[in-house]
Each structure stands twice: as structure tokens, then as C-alpha cells.
Amino acid sequence: VEESPSVLLAGMAGSHLPIAVAHGEGRAEFARAEGATQCDAGGAIALRYLENDLSVAQRYPANP
């Protein structure tokens, strides 16, 4: 869990939650290439997919 203004995730930053999802859920598409970077810089990304070693997953299948 990332630092974010999310009321539902308040106090949970740094937590690791095992959540089963179907691949493709939570997928975001941006009109411009810089959209994801702006969301990240603005603290709008509340959750990230992780690898088994707790590093941020960059590729499928760990990050659908």
C-alpha cells in the first residue's frame, strides 16, 4: 500500500496485502503518455502489484 489520500487505506501505507485478482482488473489507460507519471507524482496511486520478493512488479503475470 502506497501513501495516498485514500480514506479506505488510511494508516496502511507500507502494508502488503495478498489479494487475488483476475488479470486485467485495475488496468488504467491514459490519453497521454505522461498520465501515469503525473498520477504517481501526485500521490494518486494507492496500490501496486508486488513480486514474491516484495519488489514492485513491472511485467505480466505479476502485474497484469
The per-residue pLDDT for range 3-62, each reduced to its tens digit, is 989 999 999 999 998 877 666 666 778 889 899 899 889 988 888 889 999 999 988 888
C-alpha grid cell, residue 12: 496502511
Amino acid present at 49:
Y
Q: Which domain holds residue 16?
A: 1-64
Calpha distance 56→62 (Å, rounded): 9
Residue 16 near residue 52 (C-beta atoms within 8 A) = no
| Number of separate domains in the chain | 1
- Write down the pTM of the prediction: 0.60
Calpha distance 3→24 (Å, rounded): 23
